[in-house]
Structure 1
Amino acid sequence: MAYTPDLVAELEILALYNLDNVQEGIKVHNTATPKAQAAITRLHQKGLVTQADGGYLTSLGLDAAEHAQALLTILHPQTA
């Protein structure tokens, strides 16, 4: 399985969520890039967020965001 541009866009959205406060949602406004708007819509269709324009993470979405953010932490080069 390859990382497609669509999947990367979805991961980028999941990385925006504040995992320290799950009551804090996000809103992807109509002025956002078409890529971001499409990504949040797909995340909603997959049941990861509560609204087609963002909202809160569902239980599944929280799991996905935790994994996505952990992967970014692992793969991000550490600076000394």
Structure 2
Amino acid sequence: MRYNQALMDELNLLLHFDLDTTQQGIKVHHDADPAVIAAAARLHDKGLITLRDGGYLTDLGRETTEHAQALLGLLRETTTA
């Protein structure tokens, strides 16, 4: 399985969450890019965020976001080395 645009949109949205605090969420506004709105709804359906338009990370969402940030960091290191 490859990353498709829908998965990339979900990963990019997860990267907006601040892992340094559990008290800060995000809000995807109704006039945002339709791909971002759809990504938020899918993440909610998967149990990664608390609301269809953002909210907070669930425990699973936090773990997933940690992995997404780690992967991004590894790929950035590889391209700059």
Q: Normalised by the shorter chain, which TM-score bucket? A: over 0.9
Task: Give me the TM-score of the superposition, normalised by structure 1.
Answer: 0.94
- Looking at structure 2, the residues matched to 14 and 78 of structure 1 have their Cα atoms a distance apart, in angstroms, of 23
1:8 is paired with a residue whose SS is helix
2:80 is paired with a residue whose SS is coil
Q: What is the aligned-residue identity percentage?
A: 52
Q: Which runs of 4+ in 1 moved over 6 A?
A: none
Aligned position for 1:8? 8
Which has the larger share of helix? 2
Aligned position for 1:78? 80
Amino acid at match of 1:55: G
Query: What is the root-mean-square deviation of aligned Cα atoms in Å?
Result: 1.1
Residue segments in structure 2 that go unaligned for 5+ positions in a row: none
TM-superposed deviation, 1:74: 0.8
Residue segments in structure 1 that go unaligned for 5+ positions in a row: none
- Looking at structure 1, the residues matched to 80 and 17 of structure 2 have their Cα atoms a distance apart, in angstroms, of 22
- Aligned length, in residue pairs: 79
